[in-house]
Amino acid sequence: MASIIEVKNLSYTYDGDAQIVKDAIHDISFSIEKGEIVGIIGHTGSGKSTLIQHLNGLLKPASGEVLLNGKNIWDDPKNIKDIRFKVGLVFQYPEYQLFEETVFADIAFGPKNMGLTGDELKNRVESICDTVGIKREYFDKSPFDLSGGEKRRVAIAGVMAMKPEVLILDEPIAGLDPKGRHEVSAMVKNYREKFGATVIIVSHNMEDMASLADKLIVLSGGKLVMYDTAYNVFSKGDMLSEIGLSVPVVTKVLKLINEKNNDIRTDIFTLKDAVEYLCALSAGGKNA
Amino acid sequence: MLKDITFGQYYESNSIVHRLDPRTKILVLILDIVFLFLTKSIYSLIVPAVQTVLILIISKVPAKMFLRNIKTILPIIIFTSIINLFYGNSGTVLLTVWYFTITTSGILRAVYMGSRIILLILLSSVLTYTTTPNDITDAIESLLSFMRIFRLQNAVHMLAMMMTIALRFIPTLVEETEKIMNAQKARGADLENGRLIERIKALIPILIPLLISSVRRAYELAEAMECRCYNGGVGRVRMKRLKYSWADLWAAFINIMFCGGIIAINTLI
Amino acid sequence: MDNLIEIKNVSFSFDAEGEKRDIIKNLNLNIERSSFTVILGHNGSGKSTLAKLMNGLYKPTNADGSVLVDGIDTKDETSEIEIRRKVGMVFQNPDNQLVASIVEDDVAFGPENLGLTPEKSRERVDEALKAVGMYEFRKSTPHHLSGGQKQRIAIAGIIAMRPECLILDEPTAMLDPKGRAEVMSIITRFNRENGMTIVLITHFMEEAELADRVVLLSDGEIISDGTPKEIFSDIKTLKSTGLDVPQTTELLYQLKKNGIDIDTDAISVKETAARISAALHLEES
């Protein structure tokens, strides 16, 4: 398989005041295959936001390079805008970037910057909204009259409307209630299925990561400490807690039971698997 | 960077100048500037020049910090000097180009004007390098407290409160602006290229979210202030009180002596 | 019983584009002195409005509704300051609560407004900063601190007024897990050690575990009220109100749905593990 994104020896430090703790990154290398869902985990200040801003060319590497489909994105600095259409970045609390008078116009902002006009623009916005479940009756509403969860979805649709091959989301469900979380997760899933996009998600929520991500990038102090399948990363619980991260909560429960009963498996990371395993255990005794 | 405006140009050190009461520093600065403008010629400028250099030395702020400030307004200094170069109407004519003549008195005048601006900048820099914006705000509030006799204490309090809140929120808003700019750039907004009209139009996606968030912040801050028993400053007693010390008296006295020196030279020459 | 806050028949509504919207509907609630109450509700359940009614920031919009704080009616304009001092309030966004650009100046804001002498203010500022573990940062500027640290400063700013009750409106919603844990441990300590009355408003069920009492709010009405165990055992109701159910409780609930005889009233990892061990008879080996 061909890597869609490849990061080679990437380093970046912010200049200025030393007393402000900034999340610099040091010598990071990894590659992401087309169509994968990759999670980035790390505590605040570990370099997560610095890293993702390099992937769409908002920041220019101090050293090292970022390749998109095998080409250095900074080969032609004049075309960096095109990179941003190919690698869509949804920031934390994206609803704070809404500015247009109508939902339609706001979602159309990105495609318009790509040069789409008239029917082409209209079709683009409509097709994205159909994919992610934003109803036509919302089109003429002011984005500022929507509820928090709806605003978030409109803002995310605004990035998806550029049809990026790689979609990066920074804490996309932070601050939402269960309904809002469910809707945002569903829209990301639908987008990915329809366009075969690669998805990168930054999150603090290990439970979501366990059920969503194929692979995890673990950052600590600006360095890449692990890059592996979610299964392998969460199997190294001790290493995670050393850098201030944790395993999913169901794993913690199983580990605690395991302390008294060594037969209990501790390599289960999602709620669904845990329920299945414990039900089987209950039905078939400890040998299940 | 704009982000660090809360510290302004403050340079941390523990010199005598740093420890002076900020009110003393502001009053002395005003006094020194007034007398700087009362100098009649380059000769009487020698006194404030010596005075300024002495202040700079005891402030313990590195010379390159002051040079940086002068560098930023160098164009203004050069412009003023050149204009004044042609204003000399006495002394030996050195050069005549077309309508303009340069005389020895013109040169003296150019040097005098240029040096005066340099001294002005240096003196003001001492204040900003040795005093935090917070202290300056407190000092202004305290110095203006005489307005009470005009029943304007409310206006003074509001002014001080506004300055305090501005200092607190400028870095937050700068950070927010950066965030919004990045978010719109990620949607392909072009903020660097295009003609003036296009560039102004490109600001709309940044200004509107910023305005909305500022209004929201203002509203929330007002509620939070109410919850902390704020009611427009009535009966409010500040925890930190500015206090004059002997050093302030000495600083004022020495500066007054220098100003006297300027008057003396003005009358002698 | 000694009630610090009494809410009687309170309604709160406002006109939105000519349409009357009821946020709080004829609500009755008493908050006992030195208790730790959590008010759980989804976004838009009216929980923030309820919080603001408790310290007089909002007043009941119905004539016969009243909120009494230590016996004083919040509709009494002359007691406004006294009520605000007694019932301190911390909000969601730490950035929008801090007034001054130096930590200790900010914490002093409340005491200064109360007209305390500079010496007294200084004493309270130092005490409050030590109580939230931010004393060493007293000369810093809030802008250089983390979200959790800023929220601790905001709490210190309220504590410095020595309130009897602390109302916190989603204080952890914008914080990372570390900041969230710091803030929660401070709140719990204030209640346990100093007997401070705490009203915590949140949509995180995990945070309700430490409370004496949980009040479940939905669409402006109280739909259940009891100890954390009582409330959490009824997961159906919790879910129907659109609340966040933690994965521990969800796990127990799913097991029960699959026919396993198990109690679903646990939230902590430890208790969840104990429930599962007991239900699956895993202890004996």
DSSP C245: P
What local confidence, expressed as pLDDT, does residue B4 receive?
Answer: 47
pLDDT tens-digit readout, C169-181 = 999 988 888 899 9
Mean pLDDT of B12-37: 91
Residue pair A222/A24 in contact by the 8 Å Cβ criterion: yes
Q: Confidence band (pLDDT; 50, 70, 90) for C1?
A: low
Q: Are residues A269 and A240 in the same domain?
A: no
Say how far apart CA C244 and CA B193 lie, in whole Å. Answer: 46
**Chains in contact with B via at least 3 Cβ–Cβ pairs below 8 Å:** A, C
Q: Which of C98, C117, C143 is opposite residue B237, by nearest beta carbon?
A: C117
Q: Are residues A47 and A145 in the same domain?
A: yes
Structural domain range at position A284:
248-288
* β-pairing verdict for A3-12 and A198-202: unpaired
Mean pLDDT of chain C: 91
Q: Are residues A89 and A189 in the same domain?
A: yes
Q: Of A137-141, B35-39, C182-186, C231-235, give the lowest mean pLDDT range.
A: C231-235
Mean pLDDT of A208-232: 93
- Is the pLDDT at A285 greater than 80? The verdict is no
Q: Are residues A263 and A219 in the same domain?
A: no
Q: Are residues A242 and A252 in the same domain?
A: no
Mean pLDDT of A129-153: 92
> B144: left (phi > 0), else alpha (psi -120 to 50), else beta?
alpha
Task: Inform me whether the C-beta atom of residue A14 falls under 8 Å from chain B C-beta atoms.
Answer: no
- Is the pLDDT at A79 greater than 80? The verdict is yes
What local confidence, expressed as pLDDT, does residue A19 receive?
Answer: 42
User: How many B-C residue pairs are in contact by the CB < 8 A criterion?
Assistant: 101
Q: Confidence band (pLDDT; 50, 70, 90) for A18?
A: very low
Say how far apart CA B251 and CA B27 lie, in whole Å. Answer: 11
Query: Which tokens sit at A210?
Result: 């366990």
Mean pLDDT of A197-203: 95
State in Å, rounded, how far the first CA of chain B is from the last one.
Answer: 46
What local confidence, expressed as pLDDT, does residue A34 receive?
Answer: 93
pLDDT tens-digit readout, C71-100 = 999 999 899 999 999 999 999 999 999 999
**Chains in contact with A via at least 3 Cβ–Cβ pairs below 8 Å:** B, C
What local confidence, expressed as pLDDT, does residue C229 receive?
Answer: 86
Residue contact C97–B224, C-beta within 8 A: yes
Helices A118-132, A103-113: inter-axial angle, 10-degree rounding: 120
> Cβ–Cβ contacts within 10 Å for residue B19, how many?
12
Q: Which of A97, A113, A162 is opposite residue B180, by nearest beta carbon?
A: A97
∠ CA B172-B173-B178 to the nearest 5 degrees? 100
User: What separation in angstroms does the CA of B203 have from each of A84, A169, A279, C94?
Assistant: 19, 24, 58, 28
Say how far apart CA C255 and CA C235 lie, in whole Å. Answer: 13
- Please classify residue C221 by burial: count the beta carbons closer than 10 Å to its beta carbon, then call 0-12 exposed, 13-18 middle and 19+ buried: middle
Q: Which residue has the higher pLDDT, C204 or A75?
A: A75
Residue pair C166/C197 in contact by the 8 Å Cβ criterion: yes
Q: Confidence band (pLDDT; 50, 70, 90) for C285?
A: very low
Decide yes or no: CATH 3.40.50.300 for domain C3-245.
yes
Say how far apart CA C74 and CA C7 lie, in whole Å. Answer: 10
Say how far apart CA B21 and CA B25 lie, in whole Å. Answer: 7
User: What separation in angstroms does the CA of B140 have from each of B144, B155, C13, C106?
Assistant: 6, 12, 44, 19
- % of chain A exceeding 70 in pLDDT: 95
- Is the pLDDT at B209 greater than 80? The verdict is yes
Query: Which tokens sit at C227?
Result: 């100890």
Q: What ipTM score was computed for the predicted complex, to two decimals? A: 0.91
User: What separation in angstroms does the CA of C173 have from each of B254, C27, C43, C151?
Assistant: 57, 25, 12, 11
Q: How far is C161 from chain A (nearest CA, A)?
A: 30
- Is the pLDDT at B5 greater than 70? The verdict is no
In DSSP notation, A171-221 reads: STTTT--HHHHHHHHHHHHHHHHHHT-EEEEE-S-HHHHHHH-SEEEEEET
DSSP B40: -
**Chains in contact with C via at least 3 Cβ–Cβ pairs below 8 Å:** A, B
Query: Which tokens sit at B58?
Result: 């005891």
> Cβ–Cβ contacts within 10 Å for residue C284, how many?
8
Q: Are residues A273 and A199 in the same domain?
A: no
Q: Which of B216, B227, B238 is opposite residue C112, by nearest beta carbon?
A: B238
Q: Which of C19, C21, C42, C43 to mutate to test the interface with A (most CBs of A within 10 A)?
A: C43
Residue contact C42–A175, C-beta within 8 A: no
Q: What is the dihedral of CA C133, C138, C140, C142, to 10 degrees?
A: 60
Q: Confidence band (pLDDT; 50, 70, 90) for A274?
A: very high
Residue pair C91/B207 in contact by the 8 Å Cβ criterion: no
Say how far apart CA A190 and CA A140 lie, in whole Å. Answer: 24
Structural domain count, chain A: 2
Query: Which tokens sit at A221?
Result: 């102090």
Say how far apart CA B228 and CA B175 lie, in whole Å. Answer: 26
Taking CA–CA distances from A19, the nearest residue in chain C reads: C144
- Is the pLDDT at C190 greater than 60? The verdict is yes
Taking CA–CA distances from A203, the nearest residue in chain C reads: C176
Contacts of B222 (CB under 8 A, 6+ apart): none
Q: Which of C280, C283, C284, C285 to mutate to test the interface with A (most CBs of A within 10 A)?
A: C280
Q: Which residues of B touch A (CB under 8 A)?
A: 1, 3-4, 179-180, 182-190, 204-205, 208-209, 212-213
Taking CA–CA distances from C284, the nearest residue in chain A reads: A261
What local confidence, expressed as pLDDT, does residue A180 receive?
Answer: 86
Say how far apart CA C213 and CA C190 lie, in whole Å. Answer: 16
Q: Confidence band (pLDDT; 50, 70, 90) for A176?
A: confident
Q: Are residues A242 and A186 in the same domain?
A: yes
Q: Of A234-238, B25-29, B129-133, give the lowest mean pLDDT range.
A: B129-133
pLDDT tens-digit readout, C41-78 = 888 889 999 999 999 999 999 999 999 999 999 999 89
Q: Are residues A211 and A96 in the same domain?
A: yes
- Is the pLDDT at A286 greater than 50? The verdict is no
Residue contact A279–C255, C-beta within 8 A: yes
> Cβ–Cβ contacts within 10 Å for residue B230, how many?
20
Mean pLDDT of A100-123: 94
What local confidence, expressed as pLDDT, does residue C141 receive?
Answer: 87
Q: Which residues of C touch B (CB under 8 A)?
A: 52, 55, 57, 80-81, 84-85, 88-89, 91, 93, 95-102, 105-106, 108-118, 121-122, 125, 141-143, 154, 157-158, 161
What local confidence, expressed as pLDDT, does residue B8 receive?
Answer: 59
Q: Which residues of B51-77 are buried (b: 16+ CB within 10 A; e: fewer)?
A: bbeebbeebebeeeebeebeeeeeeeb
Residue contact C242–A178, C-beta within 8 A: yes
- Is the pLDDT at B7 greater than 70? The verdict is no
Distance of CA B139 to the CA centre of its chain: 14
Mean pLDDT of B20-41: 92
Task: Inform me whether the C-beta atom of residue A218 falls under 8 Å from chain B C-beta atoms.
Answer: no
Residue contact B205–A97, C-beta within 8 A: yes
Residue pair A2/A163 in contact by the 8 Å Cβ criterion: no
Residue pair B112/B42 in contact by the 8 Å Cβ criterion: yes
Closest alpha carbon to A186 in A207, A212, A210: A212
Q: Are residues A204 and A261 in the same domain?
A: no
- Is the pLDDT at B139 greater than 80? The verdict is yes
- Is the pLDDT at A232 greater than 60? The verdict is yes
Domain CATH for A39: 3.40.50.300
- Is the pLDDT at A73 greater than 70? The verdict is yes
pLDDT tens-digit readout, C157-172 = 999 999 999 999 999 9
Mean pLDDT of chain A: 90
**For residue C142, which residues of chain B lie inside 8 Å, CB to CB?**
168
Residue contact A282–C260, C-beta within 8 A: yes
Residue contact A99–B213, C-beta within 8 A: no
Query: Which tokens sit at B66?
Result: 């002051």
Q: Are residues A260 and A241 in the same domain?
A: no
pLDDT tens-digit readout, A46-57 = 899 999 999 999
Q: Which of C112, C119, C169 to mutate to test the interface with B (most CBs of B within 10 A)?
A: C112
Q: Which of B164, B239, B241 to mutate to test the interface with C (most CBs of C within 10 A)?
A: B239
pLDDT tens-digit readout, C117-146 = 999 999 999 999 999 999 999 988 888 899
Q: Confidence band (pLDDT; 50, 70, 90) for A85?
A: very high
What local confidence, expressed as pLDDT, does residue B6 receive?
Answer: 46
